[in-house]
Amino acid sequence: MATVPEHIEHDEVVEQLRRDVSQDEHDEIRELWKKHSIAEDKRDLPGLISTLTEDCVYEVRPDGARWEGHDGAARFYTELLTAFPDIHFDLTDIVIGPQGVCEEAHVTATHAARWLQHEPTGNCLEWRNAIFFPWDPVARKFRGEMVYTDLAFPAG
């Protein structure tokens, strides 16, 4: 996997810190996040994809799995919802700003199919996720999701 040169990452962070804060943009980001969340709850793939930039990226940490573009986002959700058909997110915290949205959730789901490198266990699993939805101020959409998870699969 290619790494981002440190100076580029730093420059992007500096740009994010310099973004102006406006109530209108905050409201726009909040409404788009709500649209995304409702679409996810309804398993509405076109609705989910409509909230994302064409070049969106999905990453799961610490695994390092990555999906790119609208096709990649569709694969991410298809794989996730196949592996965990009854997945449920209970939001525990959320922060919204000009950089995007960061949420934390308590997650429960039955592991019914392969997810990443893990074969299905049939077990009901429980874990926590922190998800960052980076905002693209030009496209007015999310650039994907960076998912940090403490999901630990049972040894088997």
0.75 exceeded by the pTM? yes
What stretches in the chain show pLDDT beneath 70?
Answer: 1-11, 13-19, 154-156
* Residue 1: predicted pLDDT: 47
What tokens were used for 128?
A: 């926590």
Question: What tens digit of pLDDT does each residue of 30-58 get?
Answer: 999 999 999 999 999 999 999 999 999 99
CB environment 49-66: b (16+ within 10 A), e (fewer): bebbbeebbbbbeeeeee
Task: Decide: residue 4, CB within 10 A, 0-12 exposed, 13-18 middle, 19+ buried.
Answer: exposed
* Residue 16: predicted pLDDT: 58
